[in-house]
Amino acid sequence: MGILFFRLPTLAFFVAVVAITLLRLDFSDISSYGSRFVSLLNTQNNNTAAEKLHTISEEPPARQTPELQTSVLDIPPGTILVADEMSVPRAIRKVFLAIEQAEGAGARVRRSIGTPQLRNFSPFLMLDHFSIKPGAGFPDHPHRGQETITYLLSGGVDHEDFAGNKGTIGPGDLQFMTAGRGIMHAEMPRQNPDGSANVGLQLWVDLPKQLKSCEPRYRDLRASEIPTVDADGGKVHIKVISGQSHGVDSVKDLAYTPVWILDIEIRPGGRVEQPLPRGWNAFAYTLEGQTIFGKPGTEQRTVDQYHNVVFEPDGDVVYAEVDPSAEKSSRFILVAGTPLDQEVVQYGPFVLSSKEEVYQAIMDYQTHSNGFERAKDWQSEIGKSMVH
């Protein structure tokens, strides 16, 4: 998401632009990776081009505990994380509103991760809460070095890539895409009969350095495949998209980087204590209603919808509840992932570990080599409606 249609400049011009970029780094705010990447491809201004290469690891890393769990199976097989009287609640690090902004033609995005409010939150690179109306979309664009997780809340999104993969996800479905050494694809929203927007979340997750050159892959997760669990006498309903909750495990082998994703709905008067792997970075994004985060007796925060709640890595559980007098339920997405001890250098849709690797990715993309061979002369069918 967030990558707009563009025409490629000549290779000679692009090499010159990249050379200047690498020599004149300006670590300025990049609020829209996709848009600015396309801007660089189209621009004839080398001074502007010099601002586009972005290193995320320019701030001190968040505190991590030594008990960090990094198994690709998330936690050791057979392990069940439970909350008890000895469980330590995670403190809240910060809470902020995801401000809505325009993104592309007809799209509206609330971006929280990947903004000045929250960077260097490994393994997470970007979180978009998107709303795409008919006539908008994200035609052919490349990726390298990261995974993207798209969770559709309403509507439908079509997908097509240069390897011949294609499909559609609907409400409640997810798509896990590993870009690896390189992928070229298009993501286009369905044209809903009633003209309504297609709404969802897209999370960009960094890949461990040793996996950035892996072959690209996809995994669609249908709503019907997602296990659920109820807690607190039925006042809490949890979709276990990835990870574990109350002894219920998710489908495995969804992504290379260990990430837990839980869709939690709490009715008025309900409460939940959700264990998370110790030392992982975690946040909650509020979709509906008003949620109280923090255990009674500790610091509590009442949070409205469209906010990102960032938790400290210390502690065992995230505690949330809804006031008994609330008029409606609350809903939020709780996400946790293992921090990666590596530098992150991001240039639009290319996420690598050094400036030299970014330079190589740009050259590979322009010369259709080292993973981008199939991008030569490829054009998606679903993206043709936006070619101009």
Say which range, 6-10, 93-97, 118-122, 187-191, has the weakest mean pLDDT. Answer: 6-10
Q: What are the pLDDT digits (tens) for 338-364? A: 999 999 999 999 999 999 999 999 999
Q: Distance between terminal CA atoms of the chain?
A: 19
Q: For position 25, what pLDDT does the model report? A: 38
At residue 43, what is the residue type? T
At residue 192, what is the residue type? N
Percent of the chain whose pLDDT exceeds 90 = 65
Candidates 279, 228, 284, 313; CA nearest to 75 is: 279
Report the pLDDT averaged over residues 10-38: 41
* pLDDT score of 231 more than 60: yes
* pLDDT score of 177 more than 80: yes
- Answer positive or negative: Cα dihedral of 312, 209, 147, 206: positive
Q: For position 105, what pLDDT does the model report? A: 60
Q: For position 1, what pLDDT does the model report? A: 54
Report the pLDDT averaged over residues 135-159: 93
Q: What is the DSSP letter of 256?
A: S
Report the pLDDT averaged over residues 153-164: 93
Candidates 121, 68, 70; CA nearest to 96 is: 121
Q: What are the pLDDT digits (tens) for 371-384? A: 999 999 999 998 88
Q: For position 75, what pLDDT does the model report? A: 65
Report the pLDDT averaged over residues 66-74: 40
* pLDDT score of 38 more than 70: no
Q: For position 153, what pLDDT does the model report? A: 98
Cβ(215)–Cβ(168) under 8 Å?
A: no
Cβ(203)–Cβ(283) under 8 Å?
A: no
* pLDDT score of 200 more than 80: yes
Q: For position 193, what pLDDT does the model report? A: 84
Report the pLDDT averaged over residues 116-131: 95
Q: What are the pLDDT digits (tens) for 296-308? A: 989 999 999 999 9
Report the pLDDT averaged over residues 81-87: 88
Q: Cis link prior to 66 (omega < 30° from 0)?
A: no
Percent of the chain whose pLDDT exceeds 70 = 79
For 274, 321, 324, 331, the CA distances from 268, given in Å and listed in that order, are 18, 8, 5, 11
Q: For position 383, what pLDDT does the model report? A: 87
Q: What are the pLDDT digits (tens) for 252-279? A: 889 999 999 999 999 999 999 999 999 9
Q: Say which residues have a Cβ less than 8 Å from residue 229's Cβ, sequence separation at least 6.
A: 237, 238, 240, 245, 246, 247, 248
